[in-house]
Structure formats: C-alpha cells, structure tokens
Structure 1
Amino acid sequence: MTDARPRPDRPRAQPLDLLPAAFAVVAGAVVMIAYSVGQWRAMQVPSWDLAIFSELAKAYSRLEAPIVPIKGEGYNLLGDHFHPMLVLLGLVWRLFPSPLALLVLQDLLLAVSAWPLTRLATRLLGRLAATALGLFYVLSWGLQGAVAAQFHEIAFAVPLLAWAAVAFAERRWRSCALWLAPLVLVKEDLGLTVLMAGLAIALRGRQGDPQQPSRRGPAWWRRLDTVRLGLVVAAFGLGAFLLTVLVLLPALSPSGAWEYGLSGGGGNTSLVARLLSSEVKLQTLVMLVCTAGLIGLFSPWMALVLPTLAWRFLSSNEFYWGWQNWHYNAVLIPIALGALLDVVARLRARADAAPAAHSPSAPAPEASPPEAHRAPSGWSAVPMWARWAVGLGVVVPLVTGLATAPDLPLWDLRRPGYGAAPARAQAAARVMDTIPDGATVETDLGLLAYLVPEHTVYWVGTADVDADYVVVDSHSSAWGGNPPTDAASWATARSRTDATYELVLDTDGYQVARRISSDSA
C-alpha cells in the first residue's frame, strides 16, 4: 500500500505542538466526567440504557453470555444490537463494578477522540486554531448529547472514526482501513458507514494525490492500488452489515428478526419528503453542515454521515431526529470535523507542492539575487479564495458551538448545586439496604441502574417473572404519571405464579414489596 512513503504534511512534532491536543483531551475529560458524576449523584435517569449495559458488563465480567433480564428473561443483548466490542466492558466491571465506571469510560473514550483530530489541526492550522477546534469538538453538541444520555456502545465508535478520519486526510489508506474495520463490531449499522468510507477511499485514489509523485512506482499504479483498497473496504462493510442483520441478529434475537429495521409511518410519502419532513430534521442537518465548516461538504469523507442520517430520518421514531439530545449524533461529529480537515489538508498539500512546481529548471543568473527566484511556500502559495475558505471552515463551527452552548446539557454545570444529592437520597439508600444482595428485583427507571451491581434486575415494562422484591418509585416517568398506590397489591395482582407480596417499606415516594408465597412453588 501507499502508507510507506514519507508525508510532507506530517513534520516531526515539536513538544509545544502536543499542547493543543493534550489540552482538548484533558479539558473534555474533566468537564464530561464532572457532568457524569453529578448526574449519577443527583440520580438523574434519562433512560434504561445505563442499566442495560451495566447488566451486560456484569455478565461479561463473569465470562457469561450477555443475558440482560431488564430486556426480558433470558434476553441475549447481542440479539438487540450486534456489539461484540462491548466484551471489553467485562474487564472494566471486574475492576470497578459500578454503572458509574461505564459513564467515566464513555467520557474518556469521547475525550481521547479529540487527540488525533486536534493534532491534525495543529499540523495544518497552527496551535491557536487547533486549540479552538479541539475544544469545539470535544464539547460539541453530538458528544454532549451522548454524555447526557449516559452509556451507549457508540462510545467505542467515536475514537475509531476520529483516527480513521485523520488517516484519510493524510492519505494513509491502509491505516484508515485498519481503523475502520472494528466499527462492524460496535453496532450493526456501522457496516454501512464502513461501506461509504471505502467508496470515499476509492474516489480519492481515483482523483490522485495533489502532491508530487513519490518514488514508489508510477502515479497510475498508486491510484489503482488505492482504488482497489477502497473497494475492498466497501465490500467488507457491506458484507458485514448484511451478515449481521440477515443472519446473526435474527439468530440471537428472541423475535427471530432484526429488531431495528426501518419502521413504517411514511405512507405514500416520497423518500425525500420523509427525509426532510420535519423542522427538527432540518435543524440537525444545519448543525451538521456547520460542524463541517461548510467546506467539509466538498470532502468525500462527509458521505459517511449518510447511512446514519438515513436510518434516523426514515424512521417514524421522533427521538432519532433531533440534534440536542441522546447519543445518535455522536458518530457524526468526528466525520464532520474530519471532512473539514480533509479539505484543509488538500489545500495545504497544494501549497506544499507549489514551491517545487515553481522552482526554475535552470540555475538563476549570477546577477539575480536569491530572493528573485524564491517560490512562495506554505499558505502564502494558496490562492486567496482558498485561504478565505479555510478561514470560513474554522470560524463557522466555532461560532456554532458558542451560539448553541446554552441549549446543550453541559451548560447545566453552571447551575448552582449541580450534582448535589437529591432530597430523596436517604430514602433511596433505605430502599437498597432493604433488599438483600443476590435477590431478584423488579422496578421502574428510578433505581434501575443503581440496583444492578448487587442484584438481578427486571424492568416493570418487560418482566415476565415473579421477582423476590418489587420497587415502585412514584416519581418515575415509567408510570406515565399514574404509579401504583400500593406496590404489594400491584405485584400480587399481576403475579404469574399466584404469588403474594407484602409491603415492607414505604418512604418518600418509594415502596418496596417482598414476595412471601407462591402457590406454584
């Protein structure tokens, strides 16, 4: 492959050149971890995802299949989404058996993804602009949404995409392919993202390199080599996607089918109308284009966003459409910023090639001063319009980040008392002290994740067994504003085995019912 040849756009790093990337990573990690710890202490529960992945991590730590009772009795989570990469969570849980550890791990993965992109920005634009872009990236809307939504498997995809984007911009095609390959182990739809990346590599190889040819064979052979690699990557991504959704997921899913195929609701509406049918979708597109600095749209790398946008916007689930919340936008951010930097790198490559193109073929006359034949170098060799385009590409995402900051989750850190224990913290502690370790528990969202480390936990919406204990949080959103008034009566009435429950704790909105008999026992 072509990775062996030296890169003029990758000079030897100076110690000070590492500071922007280091600052972005550390600042992002500190801010995101502070938010996650505060969220955990305040017992804010946006969804059941953290509890689900905590049960998965606990199973992997025991070298067991990822059976997650929260999704249903005997439910193998690999049949929900295909994410064998999450086996790595078993080691994390083994060392730190707490859902909070998963939150911190996600924060670190998102923060470290700023390193390669900020390093590339430093090489291309200098330290000041790179620092600004690095901070924008690590605190961007898509990553903030992922942090606020708590743990999700996409945390592993973000750094892979960041390193792949940098390798693409630097024309290190084999490295790019190697960073892309593990994405198919993170989530099934990312196989289509790999497909688009392979096509982008092939297209870039067909276009050729704006820099001077290297000594490694003729230019046409290198282009053919890159095109061939890109097509192999594309075929790998498509093959992995089809294998996963047509064979692996149906085999592992309790329903015998892929659970997340595109839902209906489009009726006779055209494809374009469904894609752009909502103001929310248009807002998401605008945010994405601004993150790419507008100029990123001219990079083939930007095509990687298309599969993710397609399955989200074609779905009838409105939660998939927005830009301010949830984790669905996280994978788009390294793609968009990578596309921006790819365009900048192409322009810079032309600048680096300019001196050689303008150098005289014969020595200058002795009477001429050396300066007379000195060709422009660096950005001074780039046309003025291109320099303005790069400036626009840097400014637009920064302005976007500043303008939208008050609308995003991390802004809550400025709120006095953020992360303080809630008024019901002592009552919640009493609930967890009431339930012995190893017991099975059926509960709503309120304490779902907090009960996972020491118990087998079921959710009230999917449980089909009679648990040892039932916990009802009258403040939980799971009840739709109509919680049971008596947890024991509610649990007894819906028992599958005619079990009887008694109320053993009723405090500050929490009720705990214990199973005392079962006629089928």
Structure 2
Amino acid sequence: MRTMTDILPVKAQAEAVARPTPWFRRPAALWWGWAAALCLLYSTVAVRRHMLLRTTGYDLGIFEQAVRAYAELRAPVVPLRGEGFLLLGDHFHPLLAALAPLYRLWPSPLCLLIAQSALLALAVVPLARWARRALGRRAAHAVAAGYGLSWGIASAAAFDFHEVTLAVPLLAFALEALGRRRWGPAVAWAAPLLLIKEDLGLTLAAVGVYIALKGPRRLGLATAAAGLLGSLLEITLLLPALDPTGGYAHGGNLAETRTSLLGALAHAPLDLLRPETKATTLVLVFAPSALLALRSPLALIALPTLGWRMVSENGFHWGTAFHYSAILMPVVFAGLLDVLGRETNPRNVRASLATVLAVTAVLLPSFPLAQLAQRATWQTTPHLRAARALLDEIPDGATVAASNRLAPQLTSRCTVVLFPTFPVGGRLYEYRREDLPPPTTEWIIHDERTPEAWPYRPGHWPYPLRQQRAELTAAQEKYGYEVVAARDGVTLLRRAAH
C-alpha cells in the first residue's frame, strides 16, 4: 500500500505541471522585454535632445510637416523645403502616412521621436527570437544587447526622425524568415521597402538574389526583378514627376566625376575606400558582429546601401553620423546569427559573443547613447528658458521663419519656414544681403547662440553668424520687422502692421 509520503511528490509534480509558467519566464518575455527597454532608452535620448533644442528643422521639422499634412488628409507639402514643395518628390516614402493616425492623436514632434524609438527597438524581436531558438537564452541576451547598443542604431535614434526607420524592423523580420528558410514570409516582410525610400528597392533585390541562391530560384529572381524595377521606376519616373524641378533631387550625389567609363571602372575600387573615412565606416559597420557577419552570405544584403553611400559625392554619406547605418545593423546581426548557428563548438560561440559584447562596450562611449551619462543632458540652462519663453510668445497658427534648431519647436502648431535662408522655388538658395528676398512670414525667431554652417555652403561667408546677423538686420531695415523681445541671444520679431 502506498503511503501519504509516497503520494505527495506525485501530487506536487502534477500541480507543478498544471501551474502556468509566469509571464516573465516565457521565451517571448525575453525579446519583448528587450524591445520595451530599448524603446525607453532611445526615447529618453531623443526627447532630451528635443528639450535641449538639439533637434532641427532639417530633418525633424520637415518630416513633422509631412506627417501633419497626412494627418489632416492633405498632400505632404512641406514649407520648410519651399513654397508648395511636395516631399514625395524628394524621397519616395508614401508609407510615412502610416504614422498619420498616431500623429492625429498626439500632434507633437515627440510623437515622431517616440515612434522612431519604438520602430528601432522592435527590430530586436526577430533577432533575439532567432538567437534564442538557435543558440540559447544567454546568447539571445548578448545579441539583443549588441544590436540595441550598436552605434548604427544609436546614431539614428539620436538624430531627429527619418523615414528609413520604418524599414529597420521590416528588414529584421525578413532576415529572420530567411534564416528559417521561410521564403514567402521573407518576401512579404521585405516588399514594403519599396514604399519607404527609392534606394531600398535595391535592398529588396538583394533579398531576392539571396533567395535565388539558397531557395526557390523563381521566387528569388521575381523578387530581385521587382526590387530593381521598383527603384528604377521611382527614380526615373515617379520622383521627377513629383519634384518641382522635374528631376531626381539626389541624382547629383551620384554624379560621375570622371570623363571616361574605362577610367571610372579602373578607379572604382579605390574610390570606394577614399577618403579614409569610407574605409573606417566599412570596418565599423561590421565591427558590432566582431566582423563575423562578413562570413555570411546574408552580408550581401548590405551591399546596395553601402554601395550608394560609398560612391556618393556627399561626404555626409561616408561617415558614421546620422541615420545612414541604421538599416545595416539588422543585416550585420543576422549575418552573425547565421555564422554562429552553423558553429559546432559551443566554446567558439561563447567566445564570439563575448567579443561582440566587448566591441559594443568599447564603441558605446563614442556614440550618442553616452549622452545620457553627461550632466549637460539633464540641465536646463538660462538660454533654454529664454528661448522657450520667446517661442511661447508666438500664437498657434502663425507663419514663422525660424532658426534651424527652433523650427521643430513650432512645426506642430505653426507654418514654419527656415530663417535666415528663405526657401524659394522649391529649393534653398543663398543670397548676399542686398539680394535677400523679402520674408513672407508674420514672425521671425532667430537664435544666434547656435549659429550653424547649415544651410550655407562652405566658403559662402567666413562666419555663418555674420551673414545671419546681416539678414536679421535686413529684415528690420528693409522689410519692416520690429523686435518684440530679445533674450540671451534669441531675437523675436514681428512684421509691422501697415
């Protein structure tokens, strides 16, 4: 006969089986927990930058004007880019309209900044899930930390808002599907890239090439053709039709500087690495994976973005700043997972992940997430208080010409153009003081404490502040603006009534 002592362990085991697993111990809690934590981290950086007047009209203000137009069921006409300037003629990003319902509920630049933070953080879900399935729980934490703290994502999270962040989670989910050899879902996740930016059709084509090499050839070739044809149509037909000048606005960045095709081909390999900034960026792109991603064929999906950046004539495209590398980080970590998933020695996997975390730790202080540890990030200076006081003087619905760093403080409630270089004919033009076109706005607000070279071309004036002061004087002396208030370098003017 069985005694009570014999029965208790069996009963306890049955209760343990019947008891549901706590939510925080479930596998999904790992990747969704990381996504929530990273969203909070990115949002903190982005919101603090905005509160410190470090965001800009170019680009946060521009995108807010576009999303605000979508939310009000209007075409995305952006006054910061010029009178009647349709932003779809600059880059082809109709999927940006997906943010309009959120903006309708919360009409604020913070809405875009937090939405961007959420999108960047969301990409950790498929990457951590893939790592958990292929390598285990600890590896998933390491991959999530490596991606979440990577410099490419940090640079995007801390610089205004950009449409490319819509592509980051889509590509991450597509890469996870490729890793699981789920070819149809991979194409479905990657196809919307065509609606985010005109060059991302080339990334879709690269996904198609990978599928053709590793999976069903017909599906891969069809996907590659769709990506190439989509980018071609957008660049040669749609964008010129929507651009005020009738051309592709960014075609000049890819202008051929050599006179002969043979010379161009001969110098192409070196041109991809000169100046040295390009070589440094190429190394840093793959550094978060301890360079292991280079051993994966998935790294080929990074080639279109790296290619156009390295051949561009725009020096901003060559470096590590801004948002240009965000789309590359999911590719790098997918390549890492592909390589480690084929590794048979657990010791090598652990050593590789330890190296990934070490590289992440070394690079972290050099990129924007480190701003959270700086005292200045959490201080409100007299200059900030003065600027906000004068911004509050401008009524809702007014038309305003604002300095670059003051513009996004107003775009949710005013019609804003850039001061001091006024947009004319859909493009920014530069003028001497005597040639400056008359301002058309009701208000002007200018901050000389943050005189930026942008939007001036290098060499136009030795000191941009000198021209800005001249243009501010011209507004008063030639065009009848009166100073309403001036505090700590911030000047507020209003057009005199006639």
TM class by shorter-chain length?
0.7 to 0.9
Change over 3 Å in CA distance of 1:109–1:467 after alignment to 2: same
Which residue is 2:284 aligned to?
A: 287
Distance 1:484 1:233 in 2: 50
Which residue is 1:503 aligned to?
A: 483
Which residue is 1:375 aligned to?
A: none
Native 8 Å contact 1:165 1:339 kept in 2 = no
Which residue is 2:353 aligned to?
A: 394
Distance 1:321 1:190 in 2: 18
Matching residue within 457, 475, 489 for 1:491: 475
Which residue is 1:423 aligned to?
A: 382
How far residue 160 of structure 1 moved from its aligned partner, in angstroms, is 0.3
Structure 1, unpaired ranges of 5+? 1-12, 206-225, 349-381
The 5 Å alignment of 1:25-40 reads 25-40=35-50
The one-letter amino acid paired with 1:306 is L
Distance 1:491 1:263 in 2: 37
The 5 Å alignment of 1:315-330 reads 315-323=312-320, 325-330=321-326
- With structure 1 as the length reference, what TM-score do the two structures score? 0.81
Structure 2, unpaired ranges of 5+? 1-22, 425-438, 454-463
Distance 2:360 2:275 in 1: 23
Matching residue within 232, 236, 256 for 1:242: 232
How far residue 185 of structure 1 moved from its aligned partner, in angstroms, is 0.6
How far residue 256 of structure 1 moved from its aligned partner, in angstroms, is 0.8
Native 8 Å contact 1:33 1:107 kept in 2 = yes
Matching residue within 253, 268, 271 for 2:268: 271
Which residue is 1:481 aligned to?
A: 465
Change over 3 Å in CA distance of 1:293–1:486 after alignment to 2: closer
Matching residue within 45, 51, 74 for 1:41: 51
- With structure 2 as the length reference, what TM-score do the two structures score? 0.84
Native 8 Å contact 1:437 1:454 kept in 2 = yes
Deviations 1:77-121 (A, max 9, x none): 000000001002211211111101111110011111101100110
The 5 Å alignment of 1:64-79 reads 64-79=74-89
1:338 and 2:334 matched: yes
Distance 2:468 2:223 in 1: 54
Change over 3 Å in CA distance of 1:14–1:232 after alignment to 2: farther
Deviations 1:123-156 (A, max 9, x none): 1111111101101101111110001112100110
Distance 2:364 2:87 in 1: 35
Native 8 Å contact 2:285 2:325 kept in 1 = no
Which residue is 1:355 aligned to?
A: none
Distance 1:273 1:485 in 2: 43
Change over 3 Å in CA distance of 1:416–1:502 after alignment to 2: closer
Native 8 Å contact 2:120 2:168 kept in 1 = yes
How far residue 501 of structure 1 moved from its aligned partner, in angstroms, is 1.6
Distance 1:88 1:196 in 2: 25
Distance 2:423 2:233 in 1: 31
How far residue 340 of structure 1 moved from its aligned partner, in angstroms, is 1.7
The 5 Å alignment of 1:42-441 reads 42-45=52-55, 48-205=58-215, 226-261=216-251, 262-264=253-255, 266-267=257-258, 270-323=267-320, 325-345=321-341, 347=342, 382=344, 384=345, 387=346, 390-391=349-350, 393-441=352-400
Task: Indicate the percent of aligned positions where both proteins have the same amino acid.
Answer: 37
Distance 1:14 1:170 in 2: 26
How far residue 27 of structure 1 moved from its aligned partner, in angstroms, is 2.1
Distance 2:381 2:287 in 1: 38
Report the 3-state secondary structure (helix = DSSP H, G, I; strand = E; otherwise coil) of the residue aligned with 2:480. Answer: strand
Distance 1:20 1:138 in 2: 13
Change over 3 Å in CA distance of 1:490–1:29 after alignment to 2: same
Report the 3-state secondary structure (helix = DSSP H, G, I; strand = E; otherwise coil) of the residue aligned with 2:357. Answer: helix
The one-letter amino acid paired with 1:510 is V
